[in-house]
Amino acid sequence: MATELSDFQNGKFILIDKDKDWTSFDVVNKIRSTLKYHFNVKKIKVGHAGTLDPLATGLLIIGTGKKTKELQTHQDAPKEYVTTVKLGATTPSFDLETEEDKTFSTENITEDEIKKVVNSFIGKQKQVPSSYSAKWINGKRAYESARKGEEVKLEPVDIEIYEMEILNISMPSVELRIKCSKGTYIRAIARDLGNALNNGAYLTKLRRTKIGDFSVKDAITIDKFQKLL
């Protein structure tokens, strides 16, 4: 870990393993305030490459100083996630942010059917983002309107699923590894998976494991960053 202010001003990438309930902005703000306090400076540039939902954990690339100009390159890189999807129910947000609003029987869903549907998701496609996503619409984030009960209409976007592997099936939960293009919403994949099975589904766990060539295996927690500094 660099120890000189000039190292961070010239630019560094810091790989953070984000905890649950932290927003990406929380992480950026914490690192910025930590650096400002440690080096006794009033300003230092800090940014991130790709928002991660508060309920998700995993890899967040933080850039400091001149390296903030390179963050877009990593934001555009393919992402990999490990996620758990619960079949047999839906929530308005397609994850645990909201309560279940509908339930369905999963008795007739077979493992072979799940495997067939999962394989059908691989490739280029159009995806309608979740209304609880951070997409900008009419000057504000979509989730801001959705949380107020306002109707949110989002247009389909072009995405690509490069790999989608079943890691475990323990009904009604399915654990998946997904490698996808930028702009892909894993919560929307859960929704579409449920629809494809003529059922319902939502995320119960989400962890980002890779961004391009960067892996969460090489990341550190915020606490570890502060101790190393």
17, 53, 95, 192: the catalytic one is: 53
Mapped onto helix, strand or coil, the DSSP state of residue 169 is strand
Tell me if residue 26 is catalytic. no
C-beta contacts of 69-75 below 8 A and 24+ residues apart: 70/11, 71/47, 73/49, 74/49, 74/50, 74/211, 74/212, 74/214, 75/49, 75/50, 75/182
- What's the burial of 98, exposed, middle or buried (CB within 10 Å: 0-12/13-18/19+)? middle
Among 37, 48, 44, 38, residue whose Cα is nearest residue 13: 48
Q: Which residues are catalytic?
A: 53
